[in-house]
Chain A
Amino acid sequence: MSIAIERVAKRFGSFVALDDVSLEVPDGTLLALLGPSGSGKTTLLRIIAGLEIADAGRVISDGQDITHQAARDRKVGFVFQHYALFRHMTVAENIAYGLEVRKAPRAEIRARVDEMLELIRLDFLKNRYPGQLSGGQRQRVALARALAAQPSVLLLDEPFGALDAKVRQELRKWIRRLHDEIHVTSIFVTHDQEEAFEVADRVVVMNHARIEQVGTPSEVYARPATAFVHQFLGNVSSFRGTVHGDRFQLDGTSSYFPVQERLANGPAVACVRHHDIKVHAQPNGHDAFPAVVRHVNTAGALIRCELERSADGSRLAAELCHEHGVPEGLHPGARVFVELTNVRVFADAAQ
């Protein structure tokens, strides 16, 4: 089932949760809604489910306007961060619930429950209560419960947020495989960029009640549309400067960088990923500006160093590989020269 969101808006009191949001979700997609807390992603998910009603705009499913349809009548499966399993019912009864309330025949219910239990590989827990299960098992049961009623769309709200790291990894792979098998249109909410990239076909980056960018994981990472997207995905340092035509001049230097898209002349922001910031001991003719090393952290896969620009005292960070050991002269207080590569320039939106 495909879903289309048209210009949906939602407020809670004076808090704007969604502001003119539009989105197309093709049938069979596994989509991630990615963003920081308060960005509106959970609200959007709940509006699709029918657990909230939009103040403005429409929700269309397979051509039908379901904006005002009750949750009960939409065939959605919803999985919550904290599972929301019915703790007074056994695992089997939980999974059967969606079918029981629709008064399906008993034989069909039993067959479907067994099918689901096999799918999630938890047949042996059939008659246990949720209180006796681990977090990962509970989440799988919650998924089975949602899928048992054969929903047209599967919605997951930070499904792995309450689990520890290892279990999270396993379940991510598992849900990817499940989707490949079942092909139900699925939308999940997360604030974890790694999770979105690993699991989803398409990623929607949201911030402050708006959609910043929609695309495949690689699109969004390599060609971020806004400064926010660039900063949100990966570690980034920002620099102020001015756009002149098709070039960007870094403030306080005479370095120029190409601008990827047409931007109006005037103030702009350049974002550079930390591993694209190179540190040199000598100027060497590159467009490098002087800085002082403030802190070096060699523990971990990369060498992280914090630098302070000599020109205006602003801070930035760089990540270097350990390949050739720690470069000489990289100690707190050392004077170095910083070269920026892979600079992406964006309009200066007030962040």
Chain B
Amino acid sequence: MSASAVPNGLRRAQADSVWVRRGLTIAALLVVGLLIVIPLVNVFAQALASGVVVYWNNLFGDHDTFESIKLTLIVAPTALALNVIFGIAAAWAIAKFTFPGRTLLTALIDLPFSVSPVVAGLIFVLIFGLQGYVGPFLRRDGYAAMPYLLAGLAAAISVLGYLALRPTHREARHRFWNYPWSTIVLGCALVFAIVLLPQLYLDVWPHGKSLKIIFATPGLILATAFITFPFVARELIPVMEAVGVEEELAAVSLGANGWQLFWQITVPNIKWGLIYGIILCNARAMGEFGAVYVVSGHIAGQTDTMPLRIEKLFQEYNLPGSFAVASLLTLVALATLLAKVALDRAEATRRRAAAEETTASAVETTS
């Protein structure tokens, strides 16, 4: 028995006999083939069964299907954008600061993973549905709360902006940077009033109109955003924690404020984690079924996303149609896998290059 009979750098004591190896490998490949490969190929086979022309018509000739594609292309990116903003904010807070409730917040980010999507959708219906807590109010005069929401959002942004732009060094602060509490309270009230009053005065929002959330696009966006929120945040937290701590300290000691720190130090470093999180989030957002099913209302052509459209076509026994839509989503899934592999490789080479660099510079300094 020569060394070449031992596979792949395994030591001799770890080498299983040839039959065991072959048997297990074939068994594993059979499982993967049966469970994953065959269904994957079948999707495309069924979609193209009647030829490319029929396939095309199924997708773009059918009005409702086409609308569902457009709807998915609105809902998923919007949910994605929301999740990126909130994900960065949450990751920033968790990674950079300690505050009471930090562990709880981290755990809450995992919440959507732990409940059935149906239950998640159910909770939204409980809040915004016709018989829910806020539902009747929304129906009667849905836009009445908008001015206050917008004003509140503006006030929150101004507080964050104040904290971000505040110079780090005490000596650099003058005038109102030095009285945080009073400034924030006054500033909040001021911004709130400034944003609120014109809306009320100019009567911007319609009266007596119902604001549809459930059974309409906003509900779909909300439900999708809830389910996919963890992907971006979870990818960013470890990256932010690990990244550039020394660089950040250096920047802070040189007087950079929060805003500069974020853009110039943090963002370049979290680039890859962010892209990764976005890709995962998008895949899940486009494919989400359970939660969206519950909040959707199934009005064909209006509130059916692509997964819901698949189900509707399936119920109508239109298999070629539903497989056509399924094939599009499968392509997105495959693209996601490809992107993941590419990113992994890029990350590995980047890490190897960084390691070589540090050893090279270490050698330089010692010789």
Contacts and interface: CB of A to CB of B under 8 A. Distances in A.
A and B bind: yes
B12 A71 contact: yes
B1 A53 contact: yes
Contacts of A71: 12-13
Contacts of B1: 53, 68
Nearest to A10: B3
A76 to B, nearest CB: 12
A346 to B, nearest CB: 30
A51 B3 CA distance: 12
Interface string B16-45: 000000000000000000000000000000
B11 interface: yes
A31 B122 CA distance: 75
B5 to A, nearest CB: 10
Interface residues of A, number: 7
Contacts of A51: 11-13
A55 interface: yes
A195 interface: no
Interface string B52-76: 0000000000000000000000000
A262 to B, nearest CB: 41
Interface in A50-74: 50-53, 55, 68, 71
Nearest to B15: A70
A19 B13 CA distance: 23
Nearest to A78: B13
A179 to B, nearest CB: 26
A240 B13 CA distance: 48
A57 to B, nearest CB: 14
A80 to B, nearest CB: 12
Q: Which of A50, A52, A71 has the most CB of B within 10 A?
A: A52
Contacts of B11: 51-52
A350 to B, nearest CB: 23
A53 B6 CA distance: 11
B81 to A, nearest CB: 48
Given A50-B12, A52-B11, A68-B1, 11 more contacts: A51-B11, A51-B12, A51-B13, A52-B12, A53-B1, A53-B2, A53-B3, A53-B12, A55-B3, A71-B12, A71-B13
14 contacts: A50-B12, A51-B11, A51-B12, A51-B13, A52-B11, A52-B12, A53-B1, A53-B2, A53-B3, A53-B12, A55-B3, A68-B1, A71-B12, A71-B13
**List of 10 A-B pairs having minimum Cβ-Cβ separation, nearest first:** A51-B13, A51-B12, A71-B13, A52-B12, A53-B12, A68-B1, A53-B3, A53-B1, A51-B11, A71-B12
